[in-house]
Each structure stands twice: as structure tokens, then as C-alpha cells.
Amino acid sequence: MHVIPQTEAIRLYCGSAEDDWNTLPVEVGPFACISPVYGRTLATKSPNYVRLSPKTLAIVQDSGAFCDGPGQRLSFEAALRRQIKHAEQCSYADRVTHRASYDQLIDEKWDYQGRRRKSRWSEADAWEACITTIQAARFLSVHRENLRCIFSAQGVTASQYLSCVQGVLPYLQEGDMLGLGGFCILGRFPRQTMPIFREIIHEVIPFVGREGVRQIHIWGCLFAPALGELLWLCDQYGIKLSTDSAYPSLRPVLGRWGYASWADKTYTLRRPPNGPELGRQRKIHCWLVRRWLANFRDRELQHYRWRAIRQQHRIFEDEEAPVLSIIRKEDHENGYHLAVRENGLASMDSA
């Protein structure tokens, strides 16, 4: 299928897992992201019986990997068959422009009751997920069936993420996207996750830019500080950026309206009851989110900019390193103080 050229700063593929919006037809706009399954627990996991408007022109098809918990991971072949079958059953196969690889997510864990929760894996555990993610890219590249692909990457640290990207990159072809996975938790836990996100994108984006990647898709992220810095980096290398989320349609249902510079906390006081009016406002909100992302550079100037990466060197993790208690000040003959380490290391300038 012909891909519509991107003129937006950030293209939104709006997610949906419904066949109506409070009695009204689902109207996610021209670009949608559809998963073959949905559900927050193993017990509620079910096929996604979505019904799309003819106005939806281009669809990114997710793999559904985020719903497959322990013991439910499919083989790559079975995951691909699930995607193909779902597109045919829900009558959108002719609108799929990109199909996602069946990666393994590292930003969620499952509890003993079969419920998934947002939580990062350890770096040691995530290596296995990175290997699976690279293997998924290789499989889908061979079985792309004349479709463009989104090959996702995963990783907990910047070096691990870059290694995964380097493993995925050989399978990208013209028109494919590199998918940045593992960042849908940024808006929920920004203090814990934004520092490593920033380290990762400052490693990955320059690398893939030099390697000729021209399209990047960040999965499930509408967090303005993250999008702003990522978009700025992508612009430096001529890379188009897109994202997906179901929340543009769900936010009014939850009594919330807007994002970042246009968030309206008073909406909860005037949210209409369930019914056609709420469905109409869900449609309006999707359109407003799409317009906001399309003009992100102008509307979020405080976020669309370069930020320096400042890393704290872990000099005190080594048992041989001196501790602060044995650093003393000595008077210098010229009147200022000189910090001296008692273990004989070089002097340090001090105020």
C-alpha cells in the first residue's frame, strides 16, 4: 500500500480496541495502530474486535506481544499468523502499511495472578529479551509479504539498547521503521525513567542517523518532555518521528483533557455522562491531539530543544577509592584553601 508522506512534526497512529465510542462510530482519524489482542491480565486477554471508519487510511499493525504473558508467548510464525488473521477478520488488511515484529518487552512484569504491571527488568534479565527481539526482526524481515515493517528494539541501559539496535539494523529496508520499545512508562515514572531514556536516545539517534535510518516510531509515548528531546535529535539527522497511543480516545472517558501546554484539569468537572456526547468529545480530543503533535515544534518550545547529558561518575563504588571523610583542607600560603587527599592522590582545586 502507498504510504502517505509525513508532513507532521510527529505522526500519531491512534490506537483502538473498541467497535464504538459510546454508541457513535470509532473515528481515530487517518492513521491508526491496531493490535490483534488486548487485555491487562491473562484472564481478560481477548481478540481485539475493532471496527474502523473508512476515513482511517493507514494502519500500523502491532504484534500483540505486550499481552502475551508468561507461558503465552507465541512462536514467531504463530504471532505472524495471528496478525494476518486479525487484519483479514476485521477488514483492514488492505490498509496496513507497516507490521511490527514480535519483540519481547522489558518495561512490564507479570505477577502471580496473571496481571501485568509497569516495571523495568534488570539489565541481566533484559539480555535475553534483546536476543529474542533481534530474532523477531530477522524472522519478520524474511516473511514481510511485501509490507513495510517496524523492527523494535529493547534495552535497559544505553549500551544494551545500542547493542540491540545494532543487531536489528541489518534487517531494515527502504520504508521500514525502527521501533523504540520500552518507553510507554515514561509519563508514569518520569523521575525514574527519563534519565536513562535520555542517555539511550543520545546514543542511538546519532548512530542510526549516520546509518541512514529515516523513520523512527516510539511505542506508546505521549509524554511531551520525552517527545520534545527525541524530536529535536531526530531533526538533526533528517529522521521522521511517529508514535501511537490509545489514550487520545480514552482520556475524556477518564475525565482528562489535553496534554502538556493544553492540559485542562477542570475537564473532570464537565465531563458528560456516558452517551453520544462523550463519544463526540472523544472524537474531538483525538483530532486535537493529532493537531498538537503535528505542530509540536511550535507548541512545545520548552520541550523541543537540545539538553546536555550530565552523568555522575561513580568514583566511590570502587573499594580502593577514598571517602569524603579523609579529604581535608589545608591553608595555602596565598590565602586560599587546598583540598588534599590523605592517601596521597593528586590535589583538587577547591573554593
Q: Domains of the chain (ranges plus CATH)? A: 10-299 (3.20.20.105), 318-351 (no CATH)
pLDDT attached to residue 123: 86
Residue 134's Cα: distance from chain center in Å?
A: 17
Q: What is the mean pLDDT of each run of 10 residues along the chain (351 residues)?
A: 90 94 95 90 80 95 87 92 96 97 77 57 86 97 95 95 97 97 92 94 98 97 98 98 97 98 97 97 98 98 87 44 38 45 38 37
Count of CB atoms situated within 10 Å of the CB of 177? 24
* Residue where the block lists cell 527481539: 133
Predicted TM-score (pTM) of this structure: 0.85
Residues 235 and 45: their CA atoms lie apart, in Å, by 38
Q: Indicate the burial class of 24 (C-beta count within 10 angstroms; 0-12, 13-18, 19 or more).
A: middle
Q: Are 141 and 69 in contact (CB under 8 A)?
A: no
Contacts with 153 (C-beta within 8 Å, 6 or more apart), sequence order: 103, 130, 133, 161, 164, 165, 168, 178, 179, 180, 181, 204
Question: Radius of gyration over alpha carbons of the chain, in Å?
Answer: 23
Closest by CA position to 216, among listed 230, 200, 202, 229: 230
pLDDT attached to residue 111: 53
DSSP code at position 96? E
Phi/psi at 213 (5° precision): -65, 135
pLDDT attached to residue 327: 37
pLDDT attached to residue 343: 41
